[in-house]
Amino acid sequence: MNTVRGAGKNLRRVDPRNPKPYLARMAIRPLLILPDPRLRKVSEPVKRVDAKLKALVADMFETMYDAPGVGLAAIQVGEPIRVVTMDATRGDDPKNPIAMINPEIVWFSDEKIVVEEGCLSIPEFLDDVERSESVRVKFLDTDGKQQEIEAGGLLSRVIQHEVDHINGVLFIDHLSRLKRDRVTKKFAKAAKREAAG
Ligand code: NI
């Protein structure tokens, strides 16, 4: 999910005060863009939290901060496993990187709010989406420990958006069919143009 756009492409940004996600060698990974069919796959649960998984999480943070975005699901970098990264501080200091493995939303508030959303896999397109104001989510952290948090505000929204991704759901699925079809066609055309060179 992205709410901020602009500069930063190809810049490696490492915050020395917050090096935790950057312990491994990092790489900015290419993002899958609509209508890549992999974005529609349901991601598989993670069975083991190991060094390979931690390296993926480090790459995901690097890719997410570079974009820049406030959330990223592993499938957006082509890995069909249930891993998401997020940071709802939107570039403020200090950063608050959160990685969730096998996240499961166990409670949605009845209170709903409408907020404008975007997605790194659907660049340059924003629209209003109604979601629960708060959620409670269970997940494994990168030490393999079970965690459960309740979140409101932007973090709640990012959690819902990213958990959608690992279920093959995109934020445009929450729009009217007309709007969804229009944006899907536009991206399909752009992909065709690109393939044709
Ligand atoms: Ni997204």
**Distance (Å) from CA 80 to ligand 1 centroid:** 14
* Domain residue spans of the chain: 11-196
Say whether pTM exceeds 0.75.
yes
**Distance (Å) from CA 82 to ligand 1 centroid:** 14
* Interval 158-175: pLDDT, tens: 999 999 999 999 999 999
% residues pLDDT > 90 (the chain): 82
pLDDT at 65: 95
**Distance (Å) from CA 19 to ligand 1 centroid:** 25
**135-140/127-132 β-pairing:** unpaired
Strand partners, 83: 101
CA 152 – CA 183 distance, rounded (Å): 29
pLDDT at 179: 97
CATH number belonging to domain 11-196: 3.90.45.10
Which residues are designated catalytic? 162
* Interval 2-27: pLDDT, tens: 654 444 444 445 555 554 544 446 79
Q: Please, which residues have CB within 8 angstroms of residue 45's CB and are 6 or more apart in sequence?
A: 81, 82, 102
* Interval 89-98: pLDDT, tens: 987 888 999 9
